[in-house]
């Protein structure tokens, strides 16, 4: 039996800063596109609380996806 220590230690990130979400391998965080990182309302980990102007949270017919901002020009729209 051989010994391989390459998988013994992995740094995981399960709580990214507001405006960032973990990658599929949960070892790094990626900025959420079109998220307003300057907004004082962005306090949610792994999510975007406030999208940029002209963008809203993605809605997939069952739930709002707070880690995705999509283009939308409808007035007063929160998710689309």
In a domain, 35, yes or no: yes
In a domain, 45, yes or no: yes
- Write the CB contacts of 16 (distance below 8 Å, at least 6 apart in sequence): 22, 29, 45, 46
Predicted pLDDT at 52: 92
Cβ 13 vs Cβ 30: under 8 Å: no
Structural domain including 56 reads 20-71
In a domain, 78, yes or no: no
Number of domains comprising the chain: 1
Cβ 20 vs Cβ 42: under 8 Å: no
In a domain, 40, yes or no: yes
Predicted pLDDT at 1: 46
What is the pTM for the complete model shown? 0.73
In a domain, 7, yes or no: no
As a whole number of angstroms, the distance between CA 26 and CA 46 comes to 11
What is the mean pLDDT of the segment spanning 46-73?
Answer: 90
Predicted pLDDT at 13: 65
Report the mean per-residue pLDDT for the chain.
Answer: 81
pLDDT digits (tens, 9 = 90+) for 15-42: 888 999 988 877 888 999 999 988 767 7
In a domain, 8, yes or no: no
């Amino acid at each position: 039996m051989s010994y391989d220590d390459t998988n013994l230690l992995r740094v995981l990130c399960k709580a990214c800063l507001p405006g960032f979400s973990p990658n599929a391998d949960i070892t790094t965080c990626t900025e959420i596109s079109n998220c307003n990182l300057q907004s004082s309302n962005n306090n949610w980990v792994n999510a975007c609380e406030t999208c940029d102007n002209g963008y809203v949270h993605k809605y997939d017919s069952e739930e709002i996806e707070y880690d995705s901002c999509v283009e939308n020009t409808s007035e007063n729209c929160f998710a689309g």
